Amino acid sequence: MENFAHKLSGLLDEKAPIVFFQDGFFRISSVVVTTWIIMAILFITIFILTRKLSKVPTTKRQVVAENIVGWFRSFAVDLVGPKGLQMAGALAAIFITIFMMNFIWFIPILESPTASYSTTAALAIVGFIYSQYVIVKNKGAGAYLKGYFQPLGFMVVFNVIDLFTRPLSLSVRLFGNLFTGGILVGVLYAIMPFLVPLPIHFLELLTGTIQAYVFALLIGIYASEGLEEE
């Protein structure tokens, strides 16, 4: 039991990000570096997929790119309605970025940035602000603010509380699933190192994909709820 507790303690220490540089509040950690690497991978991939496109697809590369775009356009329209087309690019960016962050651990020296709450909080805040921006853009600032007093004036208190709890819920959900998932895998490896790998990694793949999908889904739903009141 003591040996297991020691391994668990070491596992928690391993999950802490490595700090490469810090000056006051400014810090460059392994989470930041990994995020930069993911951004570079996405930029290079998008550049390769989208260069030298033609009106009629002539390469498998363009077919893949158009299928990805088409799926996200359909996803946004089904979720938000016709106005969802304007959100397709953002929802695609959210899903793909989180998907990459969830699975960057396939590169042995890297760990998932989404296992750090600072990352999930930033994603949640940006995603939620974007959903509110879409509502304001389509309804106008006056109609947007008026919605907080519906159906009765005193409801503004509860509606504002709901406004601030949504990004908190988004960030905690994503962080909790990824962080606890990593801890669970580490614990199972410590207990049954020869039996765990394939089933658990398959489960991680499934969970990580679902979490990225749910995150993008909820951002779309937040915008859809506001637009439905129009």
Query: Which pLDDT tens digit goes with each residue over 138-189?
Result: 888 888 788 777 777 777 888 888 888 888 888 888 887 776 666 666 666 6
Q: Domains of the chain: which residue ranges?
A: 2-228
Give the pLDDT confidence score for residue 39 in this predicted structure.
92
pLDDT at 124: 92
Mean pLDDT across the stretch 12-26?
63
| pTM of the predicted protein model | 0.80
Average pLDDT, the chain: 79
pLDDT value, residue 188:
62
The per-residue pLDDT for 196 is 57
List 28's β-bridge partners, or say none: 21
Q: What is the pLDDT of residue 117?
A: 85
Instruction: Give tens-digit pLDDT for 79-115.
Output: 888 888 889 999 999 999 999 988 887 777 777 888 8
Q: Which residue has the higher pLDDT, 53 or 70?
A: 70
| Weakest mean pLDDT among 8-17, 111-120, 192-201 | 8-17
74 pLDDT band, cuts 50/70/90, is very high
Query: Residue 7: pLDDT above 70?
Result: no
